[in-house]
Structure 1
Amino acid sequence: MKLQPWRQYHAAVWLKTWRFDAANDIRILVLGQDGRQLSYSNLRVKRNQTWTRHHIVFNSLGNEKIRFYIGVWGGRGGKLWIDDAVLEETAFVNLLRRPGCPLIVRSEDGIVYNEGQDFQTLVDSKVGQVPYAGCYDVYHVPPELKLTPGSRIKEGQRILVDFYHTVTIYDGQVTCCLGADKVFEIIEEQVRRVHEAMRPRTYLLSYDEIRVANWCKACNSPGRSAGQLLAENVRKVAAIVRKTDPDARLCIWSDMFDPHHNARDRYYLVNGDLRGSWNGLDRDMIVVNWNRGKAAKSLAHFNSLGHEQVLAGYYDGDPKDIRNWLQVARNMPAVCGVMYTTWRDDFSKIEQFARYAWGIAQQRK
């Protein structure tokens, strides 16, 4: 399917289900010319639902052609109806207006028009506000660019507009900019509040699964890779914490600094290669490692960098699995602990987990 590069697109489809067991697996899938997935938004289809319209929004990036699919992979039981699919170019959905995200409106021959003089101030009032402040929806009717009285833009004239927008990942996930000054101001204020309220001895920096990054002018610099950007970001955040609390102990999730996990090229919608991000980690930072799938390589990577590690185990699986992980780590004295990790707030197996972990720990002594 042909389209224009570097444009925002909206796709929608009407879906109806009846006892459809694979409702969570229904997708609108968009692949670029190189096979890269361009949208990761979940449709949130229910097992039983009447006709409901579902949406995704994506940027075509540098693609002139895409592969476009609507369907289900791994269907089991029930019925699914699909109707009235639409793919259309759009603009200004979840429009970003901040330093590093300029809005430029110009004529085909290069005349740049002025906001407030040639066109009204353009703001997406729903960005980060649906269903409430701090939350992002996949799609809403975008704002329109409207001319001012006396505008130099003529009725029916073709204009070119450069703008920046965010996209949601899975169920409304949106990543902050890694380079914007305002982000660091907010972090500094939050660290100050946490320090004053709780006086913690240890801070866990929540760097994990950063799936959109390095696109805007605040973070994308010529000659700097995505990995170098992330390294600079984590250095600044660590410095902010230590400025507030010089004695603080810092921990950090492993995946974005692990070449055997997410610190790699072509990670989701990150612009560029994330390898080298681990160069931003201070040596005394404790890595909370959750890469059980490639445990030996991951543990060795951080061990070679001189980091102590905590194994983040369980993840609502079999509590016995921590035994195998600790066996892999038996020759790495820098593994200093384990953590019972649950997504479902299920602490019913924490004692079993502890017994398995302590049993192996005793064997290591």
Structure 2
Amino acid sequence: MKMKKTMLWTALALLCASVLPVLSANATTPSCTNCFEKRWIYFSGNITRAPTSADARHKKLLELIHVAKAEGYNGIAFNPGANGSFASMLSATAPPPDYYPNYAEIVRVAKENGIELIPVGGGPEMPAKVAPDLIEALPVKDTLFIVHDGHAVPQGQIINSDSSFENRDAAWDLIEKNVGGLAYDTIEAHSGQTSVKFTQASQTNRARLLRTLSNIRPHAAYRMSFWIATKNYNAPLSIRIYGEGATPMYSNPNARLGWGTSNGLWNSDENIIATTQGWKQYNLDFNSGNNSSLKLYFMNEGNGSNSDGLAWLDDVEIREIGLSHTIRRDPQSLPISVTSADGSISYAEWNSDAQTPADYIVGMESLSIPANSTIREGQILRVSSYQSGQNMTSMWSTPASACHEKFFDIQKRYFDKTYALLSAPQKFFLYYDENRVMNWDPACGNITGGKYLANTIARHQQVLLDVYPNVELYVWNDMFDPKMNAIPKYWAVNGDLTDSWKGLKSSTTVVNWTGGSEKEYTNTLALKKKSLEFFHALGHQQMIAGYYDDESTELDALKSWLDALTAAEANGVNSVKGFMYTTWKDVDGYANVKKVADFIKSKQPQRWPQQ
């Protein structure tokens, strides 16, 4: 119902301010009977690329502050990116010249309008940006190297048969071959006479080529190379590799066709195909993890706009590699070991003190064998190391290992800097979300993925609260939710993620995005209700992260959230204290800020101030 502004109402509001919860940072926002106390907008992006008047994202954020005030929102959860991220303050190089002036302008305008700024960041990947040696690294065990002419290199035989498709080996499964998605082709080929042709006009809107790799060794590193040519092709062709139980081991949203490597270093850009191109070679590196069998897919799940578009694939070769993207830490917790083929002799690595006789010197994907080494020409060696998890699931968000005090020292410095930059914010949103590679560091001990993540978040919260005891902490739900990612098999996590939620302090607010942009009503509503009930039972306050770029006329995904909340409240849930307008469309994602507020006011008017 609409409240009439009168002197009496103002006096009552002032009288009750000390005993009633504060419903808005904006003193002029009318109250409501069962209001979402926290009504936020999620904003991400770099606001420091140019001076305030010329930076598009900076201008959008300033605009959004005024829109938020007008529409009854009272906070902006702010997750800056790239060189404008909070982590830039920890870099050895200075932030961009417009960094501090642009932030100062945002802080000033937000304060003037009564809009609270909530910093978002400090995810498990952040320490790796400051200390790259902390990045998660998977074990590579007993790769066979052969010594030749003073160097040892992986034997590297091709492990997949019929790499050029000449024999049409049944091991290659053209899943959509009968509905026009793909077929063998004898017109175009990189080598020989045959390739696999992907057609953009598949009757099922998808095309998948599957190869089951049953001769994979657990804890081994591999490089896959392949050739692609295209003609008018713009479908989203991608590569995915699944382990046992359909668990993804390689699927990179930053690079659908993977991220290649040259001379032991990551390429500057991801693997990209042009709409029309001649034959071009690509590669990617992966790790088998705990799997002895993998399923490799070349696939698209959309036809694209050119009905006559074609892509050809040829010469797919998979080889075992070693010492690729090797991670070493100081103090040494990720050892490199070199033994004889039977494991009976361990060889000594060269070190800078030159006091120990050296049998080998570690290089990129090779060992140098000094003249005085006890390793002999033609000898077979077993080499073990640790391979960076970067690019298996993301270029930018691969976590750091939290089993080193340096991880938490960096997190504290990060928040110290952020706290000063944003003029002492009273809330901090920890960005634990879709963390798909973790718990491979031997320094962590033999624990489950759930125990590892619980330990990490517990220590992270405590480190911050020891210094900032009054700061409210927030975290996404997914990594701690048994209906989402806290499950026995999750991506390239080592071990069961169940019980990860046991590391959350009950005082930490859970920001719940169950269902995301899914518009299906019945099942999604049930999942949302169960998730709300789960975290309520653990004693957490919650916020709903809604909208998720829902373009439906009736905002179906948001409606299911409101209905799920009503159903959960009928079942005793009284801990949902806020709502966050959440978009992933950069500056174009905020056109419906008013529409969402109006929708909530129309469907459940008690939850939103009636302007």
One-letter amino acid of the counterpart of residue 10, structure 1: R
Alignment match, 2:563: 327
Task: Structure 2 unaligned segments of length 5 or more: list them.
Answer: 1-212, 258-270, 351-357, 516-523
SS in 1 for 2:479: helix
CA distance in 2: counterparts of 1:67 and 1:261, whole angstroms = 23
Alignment match, 2:600: 357
Residues 279, 153 of structure 1: alpha-carbon distance in 2 compared, 3 angstrom cutoff: same
One-letter amino acid of the counterpart of residue 353, structure 1: V
SS in 2 for 1:246: coil
Residues 8, 324 of structure 1: alpha-carbon distance in 2 compared, 3 angstrom cutoff: same
Alignment match, 2:313: 82
Deviates more, 1:36-45 or 1:63-72: 63-72
Residues 176, 361 of structure 1: alpha-carbon distance in 2 compared, 3 angstrom cutoff: farther
Task: Structure 1 unaligned segments of length 5 or more: list them.
Answer: 123-141
1:172 matched to 2:395? The reply is yes
Deviation at 1:359, TM superposition (A): 3.6
SS in 2 for 1:356: helix
SS in 2 for 1:183: helix
Alignment match, 1:135: none
Residue 195 of structure 1 contacts residue 245 of structure 1 at CA under 8 Å; is this kept in 2? no
Task: Return the TM-score normalized by structure 2.
Answer: 0.53
One-letter amino acid of the counterpart of residue 90, structure 1: I
Residues 109, 328 of structure 1: alpha-carbon distance in 2 compared, 3 angstrom cutoff: closer
CA distance in 2: counterparts of 1:95 and 1:232, whole angstroms = 26
Residue 393 of structure 2 contacts residue 436 of structure 2 at CA under 8 Å; is this kept in 1? no
CA distance in 2: counterparts of 1:212 and 1:280, whole angstroms = 18
Identity rate, percent: 30
Residue 321 of structure 2 contacts residue 365 of structure 2 at CA under 8 Å; is this kept in 1? no
One-letter amino acid of the counterpart of residue 57, structure 1: D
Alignment match, 1:303: 536
1:38 matched to 2:249? The reply is yes
SS in 1 for 2:435: coil
CA distance in 2: counterparts of 1:97 and 1:37, whole angstroms = 25
One-letter amino acid of the counterpart of residue 368, structure 2: K
Deviation at 1:32, TM superposition (A): 3.9
Deviation at 1:151, TM superposition (A): 1.6
One-letter amino acid of the counterpart of residue 484, structure 2: H
Residue 338 of structure 1 contacts residue 357 of structure 1 at CA under 8 Å; is this kept in 2? no
One-letter amino acid of the counterpart of residue 150, structure 1: N
Deviation at 1:80, TM superposition (A): 0.7
SS in 2 for 1:163: strand
Deviates more, 1:145-154 or 1:78-87: 145-154
Deviation at 1:30, TM superposition (A): 3.3
1:186 matched to 2:414? The reply is no
Deviation at 1:62, TM superposition (A): 4.2
Alignment match, 2:275: 48
Deviation at 1:208, TM superposition (A): 0.7
Output aligned runs, 1:334-353, within 5 Å: 334-345=575-586, 346-353=589-596
Higher RCO by CA contacts (8 Å cutoff, separation 6 or greater): 2
Alignment match, 1:18: 231
Task: Return the TM-score normalized by structure 1.
Answer: 0.86
Deviation at 1:297, TM superposition (A): 1.1
SS in 2 for 1:266: coil
Residue 26 of structure 1 contacts residue 72 of structure 1 at CA under 8 Å; is this kept in 2? yes
Counterpart selection for 1:112 from 346, 353, 356: 346
Alignment match, 2:432: 207
SS in 2 for 1:96: coil
Alignment match, 1:91: 322
Deviation at 1:60, TM superposition (A): 2.3
Residue 528 of structure 2 contacts residue 561 of structure 2 at CA under 8 Å; is this kept in 1? yes
Deviation at 1:146, TM superposition (A): 1.3
Residue 227 of structure 1 contacts residue 276 of structure 1 at CA under 8 Å; is this kept in 2? yes
Number of residue pairs the alignment of both structures matches: 342
CA distance in 2: counterparts of 1:284 and 1:62, whole angstroms = 36
Larger Rg: 2
One-letter amino acid of the counterpart of residue 48, structure 1: T
Deviation at 1:72, TM superposition (A): 3.6
